[in-house]
Each structure stands twice: as structure tokens, then as C-alpha cells.
Structure 1
């Protein structure tokens, strides 16, 4: 069979070509999956990606560290030779060529910062930036104001060989985008200040009635049981130290429960056996971060408005359970309860005076975690009150 070697070689060649074709098709398919499709789709992706990356660095407003990182992304977005970001006092960041111009930038941007209008400085003109790129060619500049509301808080300056209409529009849009990030940062700061004000309101609520009643209870034991009085003084000091601390908007569930234990110890010194408490806590949720002073006001509400007005002994049950991605805390009392319509008015801020703690905690939870995470309260006259609070167990942005 003299032809068999030829047939074998042909068969091998055919198989090799087939394998090559399959591999080629496979690589093309895989490449198509990795690619984003059309040129327009890829351009859109890169634009949005750059904006997203820059936005992360401007979340705390205009500051040198964030502006320096954002300027790299924004320069790539505009495709210019250099990009600078300023506030009203000085240059925060410079990325790219012609950095020797940096000391003069605030003079060039003075009119923009004072008047709030975009300036175009042509290359080679008397008012131009007098800067060159890496090849020695002259650079033009577009300087656009960054406005937060009605205030000019800074500027974005882009440098390129020519300052055409496209670069002017793009730089103005980037400056407006930076302004939006600044306004969001200011909004976050305002929300933080609001939270701090609400915590101060809670502390003010604690001061007049609880401190007075606790000191009276301690005084009643000085002559009859000095050891008990000393113990209560220590607990009172620990409670007030925690309640009036000046650092942090968040704490752990374990710390808040310790605060509640001291609070109830002081209240039991006043009410005796009229206040009975049961506690059931899953150990895995003890490290969960929660807003500072978010549980103690709920327990205080149960004592003051639930049990104090009730005849005979009352019971408070506190539970903390692991509910998957959430820690679920409930505070239940068998006190006098309240009318649901009155409760709605309290939570809406339409009722002054009593139950300010409930409204305050509900508002802070919604502010921090969203409207789906407000207090869930079940109550009726004579039926007691059940309050449920659910917070995420994972909160990367919150430190206790």
C-alpha cells in the first residue's frame, strides 16, 4: 500500500487545520465576550469608569489627597496634557505636563473664582498660560468654575495644544460634575452634624429627669446601706461617662447593652421589684455596630412610659438575634401601651414632649440605613409595646 503514508499525512493535515479553525473560532468568541462591543460602548464604559473612580476620591469634598487621585482620572477623561484642581485658596492637585505653571495658576484662575465664568486662555496670546507641552509646543488653557450652590468653591483647569469648543464644553461639564461631588460631600457632612445634634438632644433629655432621680435614689441608701450607695455611685459614673462621651457616632451592641444594664440597675434602685428584666442575646451579634445611644432611649421609654404608669410590677424583655445579614433587637414591655395614632404623630414629629427618644432613634436609623430600617413598633392602650430594630451586621463605613 504505497499510498498509505500520503493518506496519513493528508489526514493529519486536515485534522490540524480543523483544530486550528476550532481554536481560532474559540479565541474569537472568548475575545468577543471580553470586549464591550462597539467603539461607542467601549468609550461609554471608559468614561463612566473614570468618573466612578474619580468620584470615590472626592467623597470627602475638595481636599489635596482626594483631588490628587481624582485629577489622574479626570485628565484621562478629558484627554488633555495637564489638569489641575483648585479650591479658593490654592492649587490642590496637578497632573500631567507644564507643572512649572503651577505657582501662577491661582492668578490665571482669579477671574474665574471671583466671577464664576469659564475662561479660555489661547496658546501664544498675551493672556495665555505661557506653558509648553513635552514636545515644546505651546499650551492653551480652559479654566471652569466649581460651584456648590451659589458659591464658587474651586476650579478645574485643563491644558491642551488647542482650546477648541469640545474641550471647553468637556471641561465645563467636568467642573459641574466635581461640583456635584462637593455638594454630596457637604450633604454627608450636614447629615453627620444632624446626627450629632440629635445625640446631643438625647443627652439633654437624659440630664434633667434621670440624673435627678438617680441621685435621689443613691441618696436614699447613704444612711441605710452605704455599700449599696457606693456601688450605685460607680454605676452612675460609668453610665454618664458612656452617655456623654464625645467621640464617635457609633458603638457596638455589646457596649450599648452594658449601658442599658447600668441604667436598669439605677432604675431598679428607685423602683425596686416593680421593674423586672429578662435578657436574651445571641453572642454572634454582640460586635454589631449600631448608632450611639440607639437602644438605651428605647429601654428608658419602656420604663418611663410603659411601666412607671402601670400598677404593680412590670416586665421588660430585651432580645438580640442573628437574622442572617442583620442583627434584630427587640425591646418589649407589658406596660400601659399607647394609642397607635398618637405613636404615628410622635414619629412624624407632630407631637412634642414625651417619647422624644423614640422619634430621635427612628430618625437616626432611617438616616443611616434608609427608610426600610426605621423602628417597627407594635402597641395599643393597655397592651404594652414591642419595638423591633434591624441593623446590618456588616457596616464597612462605620467604626465603633
Structure 2
């Protein structure tokens, strides 16, 4: 090492020593002043951590049941002889001793509840509760209720109650987000069901009626197909189904379409048996097949050919729906998928694309190849297994 290098190291060492000495002197001077604050900070961090574990039930919202379960976990963590959770008007749950103070707590609730402490008078000499602290709970900035912590005398429990209430309010906000997400999913499902066109229902029934006199047995078969198709499409509950169930519904849909269009409709299915148990979002394929028929038969006088293929690709199943219809401009397709092509245009395609991306990630959105006069080819990939995704039993 050079002389200059050695000198630089010595100077750096001296600088660190002086800096460390200065910091050490300042820290020593302030150590006693902040000892109490440090203890309080550690207690607050511990409170927030334990409250995060105990507040899990409130992710389902603030109800008597979730409040009871959360209060039972929170009280020992906060070291309080009694603890209560309220909504904006009444006590939802009380855990611990001195429940005879429930009415007194209700009287302390303001509209909206606000942070406060209050004394408690009691004729019972053995009552461990003489003092209470109230901290409001909020959701999306609106009053939702309060957390009340009780003790024998005024103490740091007030600070812990405020910190805990803030953490509980976060869980209530998350519960609101969960409910909003579920509502959005349900709205998408309703939109998909709305895509089962009233015209299709009317035309299916008209087609069935045309066979009543000439071929009663055929009419009976079609009516059964129609009943099974509508029961599956409008079933309640269940976000996922199997590829086998979805294809069965599509076969019923196509059978009703054949009754109307006869030889103008040609359908080919190529399905690998090993992919039939694969789970996928409910009503994921039917809108795509309906799109193929719409752009094939309803917008063209020529013979419509629809091909449905399901293949095994290792860890995924690959499904392709292809038609020889009129196709469309790629720019119009992009507008449909963005939702800017008009309120009533392409809802089925757009919803299926969004649901696939939401469930599996953006890499699993629809791949659509089309052009004017060139037909349309829609490809989707579905993972064979994804944690937390399970098909609902058939209706």
C-alpha cells in the first residue's frame, strides 16, 4: 500500500473516531431524557403488531360476531381487565369483567364517537374497572364505531387504545375493499349473463315450436337442451367450473343454434380428454362461441364454420375458438377490449378478457387474431392448477 493510501486510511479512522465520540457524547446526554419515550415507543410497536394479529376477524366487517371474536383476542393483548367494541350507537361485544358498565359505555358514545377518557363510578367494591378510554373506529373516513379499553386507573392504556383503533380501522377499510371487489365481480357475472341475448332465447323457443307438430320428439329434446342450458347459465354461486361442464353447456347452445340455422352451421370440436377436468372461470367460453356465431351466421349469408379446440400444453390447457365470419378491423378490436367501442359492443369479449387477467395475471388475457373478411381466432391459456381456485359442483 502506498504512503498516500496509508495516510488516507489514518485520516478516515480519525474522522470516524471523532464522529463516534461526538455521537456517543450526544447520545449519553440524551439517553436519560428519552428513556421513557423509548419505552413508550417499544410498547406502541408491540401493541400495533399484536393488534394486527388479533384484528383479523374484522376483515369481514364490523358485526356482533366479528366484534366478539376480535374483542376476545384484543383484551389480553392490551392487558385490560375489560374491553368493548361498539358501532356508532350501541355495544356490539364486551370481553372481560365488569359487564355491568355496558350501559355506561353506551351513554359515552357521541355522534360520531370521539377520542375521550372518562371515570366510572361503581357500587361494587371489587369491580376492577374505574376508568375508561374511548377511541373511534372509521372506515373510508366515516365513523364506524369505537374501541373502549377499561382499567382500574388512568394509565398508558389510552395511548394503546388509540393506536389499536387506528389499526382496527385499517382492517375495516380492507373489509370495505373486499366487499367492493366482490360486488365488482358479481356485476361482471351479471353482465355475462345479460349477454345471453333475449333474441337467442326467443329464436330458440321459436325453433322448438316449429318442431312441435312435425317432429314432437325433436321438440322435446330441444326443450330439454334449452332447460339445461339456461339452468347452467343462470345458476347462483360459484366463480369457477370445469372445462367439461363449460363445453357441455356450449354443446347445448350449439344444438339450439343448429335447430335454427340447420346446414348453414358447421361445428367441429377437437377436445383432448386430459384437459376436461381443468378449472376455469364460469361462463368463460360461451361468450366467445356466441361471438363466433354472431360474426359468422348473423352477419353473413354464407355457410358458417366454427372450430373449437382444447389441447394439453404441459402445465396449461390451450383453448382455441375459430370462425370463418366477417372478422373486424384490429383497431376496432382494440377499442372493444379497452371498453371504448360503445356501451353495448363487445361486452362478452371484454369481460372474459378482464376475468382471465384478474384470476391468472395479464399474461393470460385473450389472444385474438382477426381482420376484415378473414374470420376470427380467439386463443386462451388456462393453468391446470392454481392455488385457491376450485370448481363448484354442477348445478
Please give the TM-score of this superposition, normalised by the length of structure 2. Answer: 0.75
**DSSP-derived class of the 2:283 partner:** coil
Structure 1 116/76 Cα, relative in aligned 2: closer, same or farther at 3 Å? same
Structure 1 75/397 Cα, relative in aligned 2: closer, same or farther at 3 Å? farther
Residue deviations 1:341-388, cap 9 Å, x none? 212211211112332111122233444555554433333331522231
Q: Is the 8 A contact 2:82 2:129 kept in 1?
A: no
Inter-partner Cα distance in structure 2 for 1:329 and 1:181: 40
Query: What is the root-mean-square deviation of aligned Cα atoms in Å?
Result: 3.4
- Which residue in 2 is equivalent to 1:362? 353
- The yes-or-no answer on 1:69 pairing with 2:64 is no
- The yes-or-no answer on 1:317 pairing with 2:314 is no
Inter-partner Cα distance in structure 1 for 2:122 and 2:271: 73
Q: Is the 8 A contact 1:275 1:307 kept in 2?
A: no
Which residues of structure 1 form unaligned runs of 5+? 1-38, 123-127
Inter-partner Cα distance in structure 2 for 1:371 and 1:102: 52
Question: How far off its partner does 1:51 sit?
Answer: 4.1
Question: How far off its partner does 1:138 sit?
Answer: 4.3
Q: Is the 8 A contact 1:196 1:249 kept in 2?
A: no
Q: Is the 8 A contact 2:84 2:94 kept in 1?
A: yes
Inter-partner Cα distance in structure 1 for 2:145 and 2:317: 43
Inter-partner Cα distance in structure 2 for 1:367 and 1:241: 26
- The yes-or-no answer on 1:79 pairing with 2:71 is no
- Which residue in 2 is equivalent to 1:264? 254
The answer to which of 59-68 and 89-98 deviates more is 89-98
- Which residue in 1 is equivalent to 2:379? 387
Q: Is the 8 A contact 1:214 1:267 kept in 2?
A: yes
Inter-partner Cα distance in structure 2 for 1:248 and 1:233: 25
Match of 1:396 among 376, 379, 388: 388
- Which residue in 1 is equivalent to 2:112? 115
Inter-partner Cα distance in structure 2 for 1:241 and 1:181: 38
Question: How far off its partner does 1:156 sit?
Answer: 0.9
Which residues of structure 2 form unaligned runs of 5+? 1-38
Residue deviations 1:114-144, cap 9 Å, x none? 133212114xxxxx364989x7554421111
Question: How far off its partner does 1:173 sit?
Answer: 2.6
- The yes-or-no answer on 1:335 pairing with 2:325 is yes
Inter-partner Cα distance in structure 1 for 2:130 and 2:311: 64
The count of aligned residue pairs is: 350
- Which residue in 2 is equivalent to 1:153? 144
- The yes-or-no answer on 1:280 pairing with 2:277 is no
Q: Is the 8 A contact 2:132 2:150 kept in 1?
A: yes
Residue deviations 1:35-83, cap 9 Å, x none? xxxx99x989966763443343222111233222322443344333332
Inter-partner Cα distance in structure 2 for 1:344 and 1:129: 70
Matches within 5 A, 1:348-359: 348-352=338-342, 353-359=344-350
- Which residue in 2 is equivalent to 1:169? 159
**DSSP-derived class of the 1:58 partner:** helix
Inter-partner Cα distance in structure 1 for 2:249 and 2:142: 44
